[in-house]
Amino acid sequence: MTDVRRRVRDHVRRNPGVHFNQLVRNLDIATGQAQYHLRRLGRSGDVVAERIRGRTHYFDTEYDAWERRVLSLYRRETARELITHLVEDGRLPASTLADRLDLARSTVSWHVDTLEDAGVVERSYGDRGRVEVSLTRPSETVALLQAVTPSLSDRLVDRFMRLVDAGLHGAEAED
């Protein structure tokens, strides 16, 4: 195994759920070089790729499909904040999550849809018919969250995406 391939593999092991662009930035290697080595690591069974909502995330083979989805989504700021509130408080109304995150309800709904599709959260209806959100596997989720420490650049990209999203929702409201 080449030195670069070993660095890529080790980085993926230390940073489960790292997405492609972050891996390239962290290792300061060329895009094509990263693609080549990730492809080779995937073929040899050393790395698993998981594509979620437009980003490919990379993992060591020790993680199952559900764990890969949780870790991938937890690297995204809004999903991370939403999951954190659910870890801390258990089941919460979707409207409460929107208020706490200071986001449009439609934005929270989109993120809840993503997390629900991934099997991370589930929706139910409370006493007054309000949508409530809870973690599907709270104790397992908490254990996984300790494996991920999002980087500053991950957080900055996520904040930029929130600004764009807020601008789009604002434009829709004016129409």
163 within a domain of the structure (yes/no) = no
- β-strand partners of 131: 125
Domain count, the chain: 2
169 within a domain of the structure (yes/no) = no
For residue 51, give the H/E element and its range. strand 48-52
Measured over the CA atoms of residue 152, residue 155, residue 161 and residue 163, the dihedral's sign is: negative
**pLDDT one-digit tens code per residue, 57-100:** 999 999 999 999 999 888 888 998 999 999 999 999 999 999 99
Half-sphere exposure of 22 (CA within 13 A, CB side): 24
Identify the CATH number of the domain in which residue 43 sits: 1.10.10.10
Answer for the pair 18, 11: CB distance below 8 angstroms, yes or no: yes
Residue 9 sits in the same domain as residue 54:
yes
**pLDDT one-digit tens code per residue, 15-33:** 899 989 999 999 999 999 9
Answer for the pair 21, 37: CB distance below 8 angstroms, yes or no: no
Residue 76 sits in the same domain as residue 139:
yes
Q: Which domain holds residue 13?
A: 1-63
Residue 75 sits in the same domain as residue 140:
yes
Average pLDDT score over the chain: 86
Residues ≥6 apart with Cβ < 8 Å to 11 = 18, 23, 26, 27
Q: Is the overall model pTM greater than 0.85, yes or no?
A: no
